[in-house]
A and B are shown apart, each in its own frame.
Chain A
């Protein structure tokens, strides 16, 4: 038998990431349950399943990614089943199954941004944070720096095509990004030595 998990076990296989040191480990607390229940209450009775996405966002915001333990809990909260939560988690590229860095770069690689210079940004960021762009794969396009502080991921369109290249760092969108601007952003988040 090979060590690679089969297609089913791969759904929840752990993907260790240095980013995990900057996020708390997933844990069900009374506060988390309360917040999830509030989200579920937004939807009519019998439609609890609609709250799956909002709860996924809640978990991702707090813990950085959706780990294997979180999926059955989310399913339980919205009267769904783990496989349907897994279906949603694996469908959206914006939902992570591997922990990103504390500062997560989403670099647009669609045509408008690429033409305006975005193509060079991914290798540049990779070099700056010390990861190899060749390690990016279809299955897991995210790369995390060894200190877990930074991560980079190509995305499709940040809906700001007129002002490319666009890069999103966590929730902040940067437009007309140049390599110089990348330097500034990284310097801003880099802890002072």
Chain B
């Protein structure tokens, strides 16, 4: 005679709004309505999926996630349930497998992800999926991160019995400016179709044909040209959708991915930078449900070419004689020269322009430098654009909130500086990370009229060309630091590659200059790393109280109220 516990597990779980589920022999509790696939994955019982994507509607078409499922048999009328010692009803296993993505958990349900039935089901599904697959992994870009390849290795049979001729479909089809389609590699999961319809709102992809001739296509004359089109490359589980930019450039297993953030707008989309040695090969979105979900815009994704471009400035450049061109120099000599010059400059006739594309740590050091010099005319260049109603913020500077926090009011002083340059009350300028001739409204004549122009930047532009001294800074891929996005979330940048050539992080340049100028503030000159700069800032700025490099984590942390939201994230929240 069994003695069930006084409080049955089902009642205990129901009190929490949860249900008890047995997965591979162990009992777990999940909230009602959890998908079987999510439940299994959350406890380490891996369920392979092609078509299921947590951010898209459920299609249930690939059948890869079949698992063995069981429930207690239905009670005959007039009988009482016989609970076991553990308080559960015995499970009757169903003779056929169910798909884990389209079914939700229920009380006293049993799931087996490693049973013979499940294994057979997976093997069968893979055999069918591979029956028309070209098996061209050696020339396929997806190899190494292909779900079909992984699952075949894990669950496939190793050999196949299909002796018929494979169906021929379209290959190397250009379906958009940035995406190529191979219909033969496709497993028809329709993730791309659903993404374009449900998330990108550009319903251009569909499935044509029937049976073995089924294929993804766009209508002749239409194109997959949305600014979010490359996300289909990320979510494609196989090599059907490939990025024109990344195709045939590098095998993915040679690449190192570094989690960091996008610096093209105020959203601060979470990304991974994929590098090999000193070369950046691609950028992919990194999931952060509070910032960018799983997506990112194409133009931000492709804006990395400047990192390894020949326009990078790799050594300090100095103009030794008036009228002569710039020539490369060493850091030490350049610093000495700059410091000598800075000492000569009257602070009232000097202006500094820095950038809201700089990290908090860099801006902090810029402020320290300005204090050391006694310069009060200091501002950033505001950069406004259109909000695309998805992820691209109207603020095209990634760290406006950081700049506001550290420098106080921003944007208003720029016109004054411009006026000062034109009426000759400002004769010296220090410019960091901005091309003044681009968005700041300066002309080449304005810059030529300056007595002394010191520029810190990573790439050649009209401003660096006009400069008396150029100090090579680094791009976002080469530095650690933090930025605060439009929603008030502080996020980390991680270094993916070492600074190119002799370039140096902007915060370090400013610190060294301050030190050489005679700054004796230990809080500035004793900082060895950006992390220690952050520690210093945490003591000064209220929003950063208690914030350390480690506490920010890869997901970031909300540190201030801004009232700004990200449209795509709001839509996603509303859907739930």
> Which of A9, A90, A138 lies in contact with B220, CB distance below 8 A?
A9
Instruction: List 13 interface pairs A-B (beta carbons < 8 Å), by A numbering.
Output: A6-B170, A6-B173, A7-B173, A8-B218, A11-B217, A81-B203, A81-B206, A82-B219, A83-B204, A84-B206, A86-B206, A91-B210, A92-B210
Q: How far is the CA of A107 from the CA of B170 in the complex (A)?
A: 31
Say if the beta carbon of B421 comes within 8 Å of chain A: no
Are A8's CB and B217's CB within 8 A? yes
A contact patch SS: helix
Residues of B within 8 A of A93 (CB): 210
Interface size on A, residues (CB 8 A): 20
Say if the beta carbon of A87 comes within 8 Å of chain B: yes
Spell out A's residues near B (CB within 8 Å): 6-9, 11-12, 68, 71-72, 81-84, 86-87, 90-93, 138
Say how far A85's CB is from chain B's closest CB, in angstroms: 8
B contact patch SS: loop
Say how far B94's CB is from chain A's closest CB, in angstroms: 32
Q: Knowing that A8-B170, A91-B208 touch, tell me 12 more A-B residue pairs with CB under 8 angstroms.
A: A8-B175, A8-B220, A12-B220, A81-B206, A82-B219, A83-B204, A83-B217, A83-B218, A87-B206, A87-B207, A90-B208, A91-B210
Are A11's CB and B203's CB within 8 A? no
Residues of A within 8 A of B317 (CB): none
Say how far A98's CB is from chain B's closest CB, in angstroms: 15
Residues of A within 8 A of B204 (CB): 81, 83
Say if the beta carbon of B209 comes within 8 Å of chain A: yes
Residues of B463-522 at the interface with A, using a CB-CB cut-off of 8 Å, are none
Q: How far is the CA of A24 from the CA of B35 in the complex (A)?
A: 53
Are B219's CB and A83's CB within 8 A? yes
Residues of B within 8 A of A9 (CB): 220
Say if the beta carbon of B183 comes within 8 Å of chain A: yes
Are A86's CB and B219's CB within 8 A? yes
Residues of B180-227 at the interface with A, using a CB-CB cut-off of 8 Å, are 183, 203-210, 213, 215, 217-220, 222
Say if the beta carbon of B160 comes within 8 Å of chain A: no
Are A84's CB and B203's CB within 8 A? yes
Encode contact with A along B161-190: 1 for CB under 8 Å, 0 otherwise: 000000001100101000000010000000
Q: How far is the CA of A188 from the CA of B208 in the complex (A)?
A: 38
Residues of A within 8 A of B208 (CB): 11, 83, 86-87, 90-91
Say how far B459's CB is from chain A's closest CB, in angstroms: 39
Counting from the closest, the 10 A-B pairs by CB-CB distance are A7-B170, A83-B206, A82-B219, A83-B219, A90-B208, A87-B206, A81-B203, A12-B220, A91-B210, A9-B220
Residues of B within 8 A of A138 (CB): 213
Q: How far is the CA of A82 from the CA of B218 in the complex (A)?
A: 9
Q: Closest residue of chain A to B202, judged by CB? A: A81
Residues of B within 8 A of A72 (CB): 219
Q: How far is the CA of A90 from the CA of B183 in the complex (A)?
A: 16
Known contacts A6-B170, A7-B170, A8-B173; is A81 also within 8 Å of B219 by CB? yes
Q: How far is the CA of A133 from the CA of B300 in the complex (A)?
A: 56
Are A7's CB and B215's CB within 8 A? yes
Encode contact with A along B132-156: 1 for CB under 8 Å, 0 otherwise: 0000000000000000000000000
Q: How far is the CA of A83 from the CA of B169 in the complex (A)?
A: 17
Known contacts A8-B170, A8-B173, A81-B204; is A91 also within 8 Å of B209 by CB? yes
